[in-house]
Amino acid sequence: MSANKLRGESMKIKRSERLVDMTDYLLNRPHTLIPLTFFAKRYDSAKSSISEDLTIVKKTFQERGIGLVETVPGASGGAKYIPYILKEAADEFMSEVIEILNNSQRLLPGGYVYMSDILGDPEKLRFLGRIIVTQYLNQRVDAVLTVATRGIPIAQAASSYLNVPLVIARHDSNITEGSTVSVNYVSGSSKKIKRMTISKRSLAENSNVLIVDDFIHGGGTINGLTSLIEEFNCNLVGSTFFAEGAYSNSQEFGNYTSLVKMENEPDGDMRITKGNYDEKIFGSAK
């Protein structure tokens, strides 16, 4: 079957082919309302047939923990795919990640743990992105904000599933960014004053912004990103970090979600445990 025909000419196809193409179309356009009339024209089928197909897709997505398929009735109605992950799948995946991170050979000088390979693995990033966005099923998110560090890949994964722009705060301005907004903040690790900058065109006023980054320890980065959000008169809907340091404090740095936690052992080793995502995302205490 020609892709060009599916994009352009209407054509009658088998239901099995229609279901495969419809599923692919929804998966690649999360949080986007697709009108029934679009699918009807795309497959040269009646709206009643499209509704039956969507019921099958919706049931399968829910049973497999792929996500929700919301259907909107009426003349302007359609279907919308909303990604999420089941708690069991999230726990299984995070247990594997924690086991990998607890390898003693990953311990780096200064009490850090090597995790760049995990934050660069496409399959792992897809899981991490689904875990993060599950917390915001019932909230509107207009943009994901991160800083120009190792957190970019995980922030990109979350923004992809939310289907919203990724905004990256940088430590120096670039002429291609146009006019910028900058804030100064105190680095949590070095205690030095640093600056982060984003373009004035990055965020619209009153946008709902989600912060996603790789690590929280001293709280300097989250404070700086929060200040940027306030400069744009935007709303902070939440903050999620892949890892939190042993001395992080959610009361001090705001209400954040962490996927793993790093704790120092008496012998100098680092122990990786589950973060607070069970409570924050799935509503169950650790």
Co-location of 164 and 242 in the same domain? yes
Residue 265: predicted pLDDT: 75
Co-location of 75 and 99 in the same domain? no
Count of beta carbons in the 10 Å neighbourhood of residue 69: 20
In three-state form (DSSP H/G/I as H, E/B as E, the rest C), the secondary structure along the chain is: CCHHHHHCCCCCCCHHHHHHHHHHHHHCCCCCCEEHHHHHHHHCCCHHHHHHHHHHHHHHHHHHCCEEEEEECCCCCEEEEEECCCHHHHHHHHHHHHHHHCCHHHEECCCEECCCCHHHCHHHHHHHHHHHHHCCCCCCCCEEEEECCCCHHHHHHHHHHHCCCEEEEECCCCHHHCCEEEEEEECCCCCCEEEEEEECCCCCCCCEEEEEEEEECCCHHHHHHHHHHHHCCCEEEEEEEEEECCCCCHHHHCCEEEEEEEEECCCCCEEEEECCHHHHHHCCCC
Query: Residue 4 and residue 170: Cα distance in Å, rounded?
Result: 41
Specify the number of domains making up the chain: 2
Co-location of 39 and 75 in the same domain? yes
Co-location of 130 and 270 in the same domain? yes
Co-location of 55 and 97 in the same domain? no
We report the CATH number of the domain holding residue 116 as 3.40.50.2020
Co-location of 166 and 144 in the same domain? yes
pLDDT string in tens for the chain (286-residue length): 555 555 444 456 789 999 999 999 999 999 999 999 999 999 999 999 999 999 999 999 999 999 999 998 877 789 999 999 999 999 999 999 999 999 989 988 877 789 999 999 999 999 999 999 999 999 999 999 999 988 999 999 999 999 999 999 998 877 777 899 999 888 766 678 889 999 999 999 999 999 999 999 878 889 999 999 999 999 999 999 999 986 655 455 568 999 999 987 776 678 999 999 999 999 965 4
Residue 59, domain extent? 3-83
Co-location of 44 and 158 in the same domain? no
Co-location of 55 and 91 in the same domain? no
Evaluate the CA torsion angle 169, 171, 176, 179 in order and state its sign: positive
Tell me the pLDDT tens digit for each residue of 210-227. 999 999 987 888 999 999
Count of beta carbons in the 10 Å neighbourhood of residue 75: 7
The pair of structure tokens assigned to 240 is 């999620």
Q: Which of 50, 83, 116 is the last residue of a domain?
A: 83
Tell me the pLDDT tens digit for each residue of 164-213. 999 999 988 777 778 999 998 887 666 788 899 999 999 999 999 999 99
We report the CATH number of the domain holding residue 51 as 1.10.10.10
Co-location of 16 and 129 in the same domain? no
Co-location of 36 and 115 in the same domain? no
